[in-house]
Chains A and B, each alone.
Chain A
């Protein structure tokens, strides 16, 4: 069955520290992978996506993610976290834009000053 696992429900980091949010997926075909961010009471904003090609993808707000097929992972990273990065982060997998996305449970990020 298709699924997305985000092992960390809640992460707290200090401002300026590096960040890595984990995402593992189970998908039969070649996956389309996404990271979205949701601020409180808001919809989802696309951070980055991977369809094919270079396995290290750059996104907005200084985020990047690396697709590792052998590990079925698509972890999100940021070298230096800002207080404004505090939000909920969702990893999602799909087979294309016209097909439904499967979301992970989300990781809530808190940033300490």
Chain B
């Protein structure tokens, strides 16, 4: 139980294009999802908290117009990197919290490379 998937697992795009990453809770309903960014050999940096049916809450320093988050249902949240640039290349990981539970379960991550 408590499986979280991400799609795609990796993506290469050209500078200036937009990329959408999906995060799904496969066997539970997630009222809250989190999006993290991880640089090589570093820890996870929380980007935003996403609650179903409401606007995401972004961490300080994260551009909300660049990283669009949509939590459309209890099993799906999406992160869209708009007008991607090479400095957006990173490993993006989502996590989901099951309704009534206290633990974040993480997806396998999406590696983004912007050329």
Contacts and interface: CB of A to CB of B under 8 A. Distances in A.
Contacts, number: 56
Q: Give chain B's interface secondary structure class.
A: strand
A27 interface: no
Contact of B46 (A96, A101, A106): A101
Given A43-B93, A98-B32, A98-B97, A90 B44 contact: yes
Given A41-B111, A97-B32, A104 B106 contact: no
User: Range of interface residues on chain B?
Assistant: 20 to 34
Contacts of B109: 41-43
Contacts of B59: 100
Interface of B: 4, 6, 31-32, 34, 41-44, 46, 49, 59, 91, 93, 95, 97-98, 101-109, 111
6 contacts: A32-B102, A34-B104, A90-B43, A100-B49, A105-B43, A106-B42
